Amino acid sequence: MKRLNRVTSTSLAIIASLAVAAGLMLLVSAPPLDAFRLLVEGSVGSSRKLADTLMVWVPLMLTSAGLVVTYTAGLWNIGVEGQVIAGAVAASWVARSVDAPVWVLVILTILAGAIGGMLWALLAGVLKVYGRVNEIFGGLGLTFVAQALTTYLIIGPWKRAGIASTSGTDPFPDRSWMPTLGNSRLSLVAVFVAIAAILFVYFLLRGTRYGLRLKAVGKNRKSAFLVGIPTTRYMLSAFAIGGALAGIAGTVQVTGFLHRLVPAVSGGYGYLGILVALLVDLHALWVPPVAFFFSMISVGSTQLQLRLNLDSSLGGVLQGILVLFTLLAQGLQERRTELAAKEP
């Protein structure tokens, strides 16, 4: 019954958000039905567009899966964007420096990205646990550092020969690119890694002693400590897992999509992953469909500017409205449940 009520409230929230988005379009004299149709056609209307959507879906899935872990531990890992960047930088170093066969490089870049993201997340974790620095502030500060480091590398040690440009590094050697399907941008390796990450998080949180203890830490850290759970260790491990998955998302960006390091390498997937993680309410198996829906909006919104002369940022507005209404519906549902429990 509780699950049915949650599905109902979420469905009503989606309908309400679409209605509000349609109202906004009418205010600017844009046909809502045409806009929604273009969002769908622009994201899944052809095999090439579907491939582009899936390559947005992969890093978004990875960051969202990592955030589910940290949120379960009661940690607001807002610095996930910096962890994506750190993973991208580490993977870029391997792609530029190591001479090896394709599949060896694929594995090495993924491992490097995971390590880079994990170490960057652990910095926020150490600041939280030992320095008493709120993870929100620590994470945001480290994100700015990661962005500055990326810019420094692009205009400094990794600059393009004979060109003073901040647009990005030279393309990586072809052997370091993730193999793609035919002439599309779709990498089945990246898709497989993302699906494996979701399954890993699902079974970790659902069927293991670690997951049960992590939930206890997230629910009540002091009580978990009093019953003998090493809360510090579990908090740091949650940061490590979330950072590693975000770092792999950075690897997918630089070796599976961009094929070079650019200043905006994170693509905003860290912040968008926060919205997805909030929507799924810590249910890992809901991450793939919700992330795919957000990916459709991100890719399809470019058609709004091309075909209807609407700014593509309207897609971000729709995403924000959807999150707002869904969280509102969840809050109202929890409030009704609390009131029902108090009734005699």
Prediction pTM value: 0.91
Would you say 100 and 176 are in contact if contact means Cβ atoms under 8 Å apart? no
For residue range 281-326, list pLDDT tens digits in order.
888 999 999 899 889 988 888 887 777 777 767 777 777 787 787 7
Kindly state the tokens that stand for 226: 């009093």
For residue range 118-158, list pLDDT tens digits in order.
999 999 999 999 999 999 999 999 999 999 999 999 998 99
| Closest residue by Cα to residue 82 from 133, 131, 125, 129 | 125
CB 98: neighbour CB atoms within 10 A? Answer: 15
Q: Is the pLDDT of residue 191 over 60?
A: yes
Report d(CA 257, CA 273) in Å as an integer. Answer: 18
Report d(CA 190, CA 170) in Å as an integer. Answer: 22
